[in-house]
Amino acid sequence: MNGQDVYGEAKFHNGLSAEGNKITNVSDGRIAANSLDAVNGRQLNAAWNQINKNTVGIADLNHRVDNLDSRIDKVGAGAAALAALHPLDFDPDAKWDFAAGYGNYGGENAVAVGTFYRPNEDTMFSVGGTFGNGENMINAGVSLKIGAGSSHVTTSRVAMAKEIKSMRDIVAKQDAQIQKLTAMVNALVGVQTETDSSMFPDVPENHWAYEAVEAMAKSGLVKGYPDGEFKGDRTMTRYEFAQIVYNAIQAGAEVDARLVEEFKPELQFFHIATVAKDKDGNPTIERVRAN
């Protein structure tokens, strides 16, 4: 190896020394897991270039992953903001609703605005969108009610207003009837009797018929039901009105003969029943009963 050409197979003992000279024209070595071939500079350069490309690719991938993580947080904030948009109840006089919402997710923030249009109780159109964090979102939808349902109950304010007005008319008519009945009873009663003046628990002081019921109770004309309630929402029967007439007669009131004749069939069945007695056998609670 001292400047001499070597041909054929060369074998070396105790190592190989090039004495500072480079070895040239070396063929590409076989790249394999079990290869024992030497590699040349070209192969090392290719490997080095590939390593550099991989390093750049990994750095770019890390950057893209970081960007994706940030975008996911922004999208989460936008979704939270959109979820905060809600319409109000249907109002036939104001069919447009506007809403705004705020969302936060993973340190990112977003603001959403939306509008809702309800032409009727059964249909609603909606449009919403987010802005403010670079990942703008938008949605649109339509909602429909299908089927009348089993109860056929409407939530329309117009329908409820009509129902309330109808109920007010009925209450007004009942009020007029009670006023007439009160006037009739007052005409029948000639004296005030000592009776329990406590009012019925189901007739509060702010009730529109409180004074009329109180006057009848103080006069002894009405005593309520066994449970102590007046039950003013029930329809009065002829027997119940006849009992009022009977109470007036028992109180010594002067009753129109025509009224007595009208309720004669019912009055003949009335009697005083003792509900409770004291230890001496004296009645403590009495009620008018109809056989």
How many CB atoms neighbour CB 256 within 10 A?
12
Residue 159's pLDDT band, with cuts at 50, 70 and 90, is low
- CA torsion 154→155→157→162, rounded to 10°? 30
Q: Are 101 and 109 in contact (CB under 8 A)?
A: no
Q: Residue 49: what are its φ and ψ, rounded to 5°?
A: -60, -40
Cα Dmax for the chain: 161
Residue percentage of the chain with pLDDT more than 90: 15
Give the pair of three-digit tokens for residue 169: 């008319």
Q: Which range in 28-32, 106-110, 160-164 is most confidently predicted, on average pLDDT? A: 106-110
According to CATH, the topology of domain 37-149 is: Pantoate--beta-alanine Ligase; Chain: A,domain 2 (3.30.1300)
Task: State the Cα–Cα distance between residues 139 and 112, nearest whole angstrom.
Answer: 11
pLDDT in tens, 68-105: 778 888 889 999 999 999 999 888 778 899 999 999 98
pTM reported for the whole predicted model? 0.39
Which alpha helices (H) appear in the chain, and where do they start and end?
Answer: 41-83, 157-188, 210-218, 238-250, 257-262, 264-267
DSSP 221: S
- 127: exposed, middle or buried (Cβ count in 10 Å: 0-12, 13-18, 19+): middle
Predicted pLDDT at 194 = 46
Where are the chain's structural domains? 37-149, 157-290
Task: State the Cα–Cα distance between residues 262 and 188, nearest whole angstrom.
Answer: 15
